Every structure is written in structure tokens, then in C-alpha cells.
Amino acid sequence: MANFINASIYGANENTWNKPMGVNRVFDVTGVNVYALTPPTAYSGVTCGTVIELLPTGLEVNGTKYYTDKTVADLLAQGNAPLA
């Protein structure tokens, strides 16, 4: 089973990054929630419909929310894929 998900990120914590090509990020599946962004919202000019939320650790009270155009189903399938 894969232990990571890979996605292009266009913003975080309700802020756009002004990166129309996105920033490629790899996330460990441990301590991550993936859910639909309702309604889908444009970040960096790209309609994002999914949130990848890093759960808070240590002294952090709120987790960091990253926005991607990948679907929840795609990210969950990627995280559950067997390692090659």
C-alpha cells in the first residue's frame, strides 16, 4: 500500500498562491484528511474541489488546508494503491 499522495496545490488556508501551474506536493497519508471543497473555489485561477488537510500536531491548534483540483476519489485511490 502506498503511504503518500501527490497533488498540485494552488492555495492554502483560504489564500491563493498565484501559481497557475500549481506547486507539486507529496503528503504522507498519516495525519491527513481529504474531503470535498463545497462549493468548488478558484485558487490561482484553477477551480479546486478538494481539500487536503494536515491535522494539527504539537502546539498547533488548526491544521493546514491545501487546495487541489484532483478529486477525492483520485487521491484516496492513490493513497491505497499497492507499492510497485
Model-level pTM?
0.88
Residue-wise pLDDT for 38-66, tens only, equals 999 999 999 999 999 999 888 878 899 99
Instruction: List C-alpha distances in Å: 43 to 34, 37, 65, 73, 75.
Output: 17, 12, 13, 20, 19
State residue 43's pLDDT score: 94
Beta-sheet pairing, 23-28 with 64-68: unpaired
pLDDT digits (tens, 9 = 90+) for 4-17: 899 999 999 999 99
Between CA 66 and CA 51, with CA 43 as vertex, the angle to 5 degrees is 30
80 or 61, which is more confident? 61
> How far is it, in rounded angstroms, from Cα 69 to Cα 51?
9
